[in-house]
Amino acid sequence: MAGVNTFEVLSPGIMSTVQDLGRFGCARYGVAASGALDGFAVRVGNLLVGNPENAAVVETALMGLRITAMRDAVVAVTGGDLQARKGNEPLAVWRSHLVREGETISFTGPVNGLRSYLAVAGGIHAATVMGSRSTNLASGFGGFQGRPLRKGDILAVEPVKDALRFAGRAFTPEWIPDYSTPWRLRIVWGPQDEHFSEEGRQTFVTAAFTVSPNSDRTGIRLNGPVVTRKPGMEESIISEGILSGAIQIPGDGQPIIILGETASGGYRKIATVISADLPLLGQITPGDEVAFEAVAMDAAVQALREMEEKVDRFKQSLNERQASL
């Protein structure tokens, strides 16, 4: 089914792409998952506007995105607070809003976080490629013509009946993630932590690292004390499949946190960010301070259960509200 033209891009900002939750099951072909880097924000944003959690959204970084509505639409902005505005008025994050034809949405600069997500009732229309609508920037497919948005692009939205009923929803305030710095990310050791010296392991969990400006959607590069390998260990290994949240230590001893645009890696992985903290990776900004905290696997599983419970309870509250109308 064809989408309905809904927004025109007046300015794409620093980096704006169409993403869903990712392209999974394709790593054996060398295809990265891509997808939104803050999946929690995408899931909640889509629920706010009545979409399935995996509907396509616009991911935008830092500032500069400006789009104008070509027809009435219901939208929600989640993730980092980039001071979204509707016309000259602030557009509250983690809430759904009615946008009238001719009104402009803009993102003027970060209060916290790095990326915001614009969900639209119906979902952004994009072709499904290898099971996902996400933009794969390295290979140039998916999303909007396989590339970042440009001035003049027209975004279509999947048709939806009576979208106005989704306006005025709000996410539970106490469940909104804390994007304040410095960041403390929980990790579990491995899969190759035994390849590092005891001193290197201690450095990894006691030092503060600074996010390099060379970071992007492939990975967050950190600068700080050297994380040392055991004597005799080569700096690289045979390349193997890799997941978001894996933390590689290349030859210079400076950690790299892998993100969604990477499918394989040839450096030793000292640790992995726990699933509940993966959404935070999408909000870490160059210059931020990052530290790591090792937790047991049981604690990692419990943290994930708690995050999923928030989403489930929010969905239940929306269903109860809809049933009462």
Residue 156 placed within a domain = yes
Residues 92 and 208 in one domain: no
Q: Stretch 237-241: mean pLDDT, rounded?
A: 85
pLDDT tens digit sequence for 61-120: 999 999 999 999 999 999 999 999 999 999 999 999 999 999 999 999 999 999 999 999
Give tens-digit pLDDT for 48-64.
999 999 999 999 999 99
pLDDT mean over 121-148: 93
Same-domain check for residues 282 and 161: no
Residue 284 lies in a domain: yes
- 58/153 same-domain check: yes
Is 314 part of any domain? no
Same domain, yes or no: 14 and 137: yes
- 166/99 same-domain check: yes
| 202: confidence class by pLDDT, cuts 50, 70, 90 | very high
Residues 88 and 52 in one domain: yes
Domain count, the chain: 2
In a domain? residue 322: no
13 within a domain of the structure (yes/no): yes
Same-domain check for residues 82 and 227 = no
- Average pLDDT of the chain? 94
Domain that holds residue 93: 4-178
In terms of domains, do 238 and 113 share one? no
Q: Is residue 194 part of a domain?
A: yes
Same domain, 49 and 127: yes
Note whether residue 310 is domain-resident.
no
**Residue 57 resides in a domain:** yes
Write down the pTM of the prediction.
0.94
pLDDT at 325: 62
Is the pLDDT reported for residue 2 higher than 80? no
Is the pLDDT reported for residue 263 higher than 80?
no
Closest among 25, 103, 190, 101 to 91, alpha carbons compared: 103
Q: What is the mean pLDDT of residues 261-266?
A: 83
Taking only the tens place, the pLDDT of each residue in 152-195 is: 999 999 988 888 899 999 999 999 999 988 999 999 999 999 99
